[in-house]
Structure 1
Amino acid sequence: MTTSMSPPRPTDLLVPAVPEWKASAGAARIVGIGTANSGHSYSQRELLDIFKITDPKVRSVFLNSAIERRYLTIPPRDEEGTCLPEAQGELLAKHKRLALDMGARAVRACLENSGLALSDIDYLCCTTTTGFLTPGLSAHLIHEMGILPKTSRVDVVGMGCNAGLNALNATASWAVANPGKVAVMLCAEACSAAYVIDGSMRTAVVNSLFGDGAAAIAVVAESPDAAHTPSDPPAASAGPKILGFASHLITDAIGAMRYDWDEEQGKFSFYLDPHVPYVVGANAEQVVDRLLAGAGLRRSAISQWLVHSGGKKVIDAVRVNLGLTRHDVRHTTGVLRDYGNLSSGSFLFSYERLMQEGVTRAGDYGVLMTMGPGSTIETVLVQW
């Protein structure tokens, strides 16, 4: 367990000092976390060999990504080891299989961490962008896992890497409206089911970055009647309260991150504009300052920063623009190194590492930030 003190943070003069804001008694609290990945982890060099990538420019993109390993489900290969093309229907089937498997394992791990059972779940929110299912992933999980059929559910589809905080907003709101009941949010992204392999630089950037992963958290709001609270989750005292959200849509960059149809390939293809890191970085301050202004806080009051592991340039741009230290984003960069970009669930992998680190103290504030298509920045303020 790491117990080293965090380095001092730069003084923040952008938000005026006002009396500290306190959460309401009914605020939702994160009481557990669980994660899962697909079957096998590959180094970037192994992936270059598997996909037989020889173009020096493409190889450079892979090897200079600050990513060491990623979990992926490689396409079937022929006798010579060449990866066979996968039609869109095959990719959708892969998405369903991986999302169900990883999602179920992440939910079970979350419940174990929370001291809860499947029968305790009252609300299930599932987030994904890497495939489409009707009925949604939530219905399939309820059926496959034996979650009670009366469970309320919602599916958040197509919002991309920022979607985890959009879904957490809905999940926390439901928990506050239903105090004492258990809400579970799951982010399940089978990025292996969203790959196009065509040798272009456009797809090379995407293919060098994303990995498979799922993460789930359990959220409970305090109940005036303790008798209505299901078991006393052992992690409840350690998990933070959710204090408020702030969003920002960068309307001038609505097409900078998108998932659109590739006529030539006959499948969907993800696109990342090379200017995304700088656009996101340039807009990070205003949304964070708005989030903190509502609580009467300065950035220097924030002890923990959990930023989406969107990529090396994105993380650096956000860090520089917000005046953060490398220590502040240690879990963000660590998750990128070990898993790549896990889309909507990346920030929860960082949250899990922070909780395992055991350095948070009662009263500490934290900011969680995700970025994705729109282009959108989502933030949430929490307090332990």
Structure 2
Amino acid sequence: MRVTQQPVDPAPGNLPEWPGSGAPGILGVGTAVPPASYTQREVLDTFGITDPRIRSVFLGGAIERRNLTLPPMGPDGTPVVEAQGDLLRKHTESGLRLGREAVERCLRDSGASLADVGYLCCVTSTGLLTPGLSALLIRDLGIERSCQRLDVVGMGCNAGLNALNAVSGWAGAHPGELALMVCVEVCSAAYVFDGTMRSSVVNSLFGDGAAAVAVRTPGRPAEEPPPAPALLRFTSHIIPEAVGAMRYDWDEAHGKFSFYLDSEVPYVVGANAETAVARLLAGTGLRGGDIAHWVVHSGGKKVIDSIRVNLELSRHDVRHTTGVLRDHGNLSSGSFLFSYERLRDEKAAVPGDLGVLMTMGPGSTIETALVGW
């Protein structure tokens, strides 16, 4: 797979003034994971995996634990083989539990209530439901029936920032009203266990989790402090020549969907990271050295290392990204919000700081957002 750098087109407009610019901002965040947590070795032993090549993939990826919803054990003491229908039920039931928990925690963190929610966007790539998670969560949580909603399905690990862009746009058009985004990924509902290296790489990487974020544009700028950080701009960088590098497609042999990750993904992403950030900062007068905080998707050890090298970031810059990978694995679309929550709790960001949010996934696509405290 050959990937070349593309010229950067200037981004429209200049950097908005903040705070007080009227830009939408993050009001609160909440995360949730299943109660069962497994070490990589425990997962291998549960499924009786002895192949040294597969064990090395599991044990060499900088992941220590993951929260998973594993299949029940059968009479023979081995995990039951789940059909596609079983996996879809797992996605629905576990996803709704995680989504509710993440939303409730996010609202508490925001000092808001369910009655305040005017817009709900749900993101997932681990199951297809009609009606989608947004309708089911509105019903289960008792959110107002006037709530507007959106489901973003199948975009993959980059989808959190795609959806946050839409949520930010809605919040900007409805000052003072609360918008929520919740990423719900039950990755264990998308596993195929066939002993191949393709499935083993996927099975070693992804974990289950949900993350919600509340966004609002100040309705009365002169009377209330704006939410921080402010969401200042979003950009996308698409790599069409790598469109098949990350995909979720039908496995005819097993009668279920399965993930595929090309071994070149880390290098494709890394080779394009600088272009993606340059596009985000184009026209602002800013350089990479002006960015104090980096919140990067926990795509995997090789992906993180490739991005770090190409953007000349320190290990400290990606400490929360690597910490989330270590403790939870790749949580797909919600990973960056788990890292953002850790940055927020650390209280390292001070007024005037700038940050970059970055996700990457199928398309192949790198999404970025510029935020300011």
Same fold? TM cut 0.5: yes
**Relative to 1, partners in 2 of residues 1:294 and 1:186: Cα closer, same or farther, differing over 3 Å?**
farther
Structure 1: how far apart are the matches of 2:54 and 2:219?
54
What residue number does 1:302 align with?
291
- Cα shift at 1:301: 0.4
Structure 1: how far apart are the matches of 2:149 and 2:159?
16
Percent sequence identity is: 64
Equivalent positions of 1:223-372 (< 5 A) are 223-224=219-220, 239-372=228-361
Pairing partner for 1:166 from 162, 171, 186:
162
Structure 2: how far apart are the matches of 1:166 and 1:306?
15
What residue number does 2:88 align with?
92
Equivalent positions of 1:179-258 (< 5 A) are 179-224=175-220, 239-258=228-247
Structure 1: how far apart are the matches of 2:227 and 2:174?
21
Structure 2: how far apart are the matches of 1:118 and 1:333?
33
Which whole-Å deviations, capped at 9, do the CAs of 1:43-101 have from their partners, x for residues lacking one? 00000000110000000000001000000011111133211111101111110001100
Matched, 1:54 2:43: no
What residue number does 1:148 align with?
144
Structure 2: how far apart are the matches of 1:242 and 1:303?
15
Structure 2: how far apart are the matches of 1:20 and 1:112?
31
Matched, 1:118 2:107: no
Which whole-Å deviations, capped at 9, do the CAs of 1:199-238 have from their partners, x for residues lacking one? 00000000000000000000001224779xxxx7xxx767
Q: Is the 8 A contact 1:39 1:71 kept in 2?
A: yes
C-alpha RMSD over aligned residues: 1.8
State the one-letter code of the partner of 2:370: L
Which whole-Å deviations, capped at 9, do the CAs of 1:171-200 have from their partners, x for residues lacking one? 000000011100000000000101000000
Give TM-score, length-normalised by structure 2. 0.94
Pairing partner for 2:153 from 157, 169, 175:
157
| Partner SS state of residue 174, structure 1 | helix
| Partner SS state of residue 292, structure 2 | strand
State the one-letter code of the partner of 2:298: S
- Cα shift at 1:369: 0.2
What residue number does 2:71 align with?
75
Matched, 1:22 2:38: no
Q: Is the 8 A contact 1:25 1:222 kept in 2?
A: no
Matched, 1:137 2:133: yes
| Partner SS state of residue 208, structure 1 | helix
Unaligned runs of 5+ in 1: 1-13
- Cα shift at 1:21: 5.4
Structure 2: how far apart are the matches of 1:294 and 1:49?
53
| Partner SS state of residue 83, structure 1 | coil
Q: Is the 8 A contact 2:123 2:184 kept in 1?
A: yes
The size of the alignment, in residue pairs, is 362
Unaligned runs of 5+ in 2: 1-7
Q: Is the 8 A contact 2:54 2:197 kept in 1?
A: yes
Give TM-score, length-normalised by structure 1. 0.91
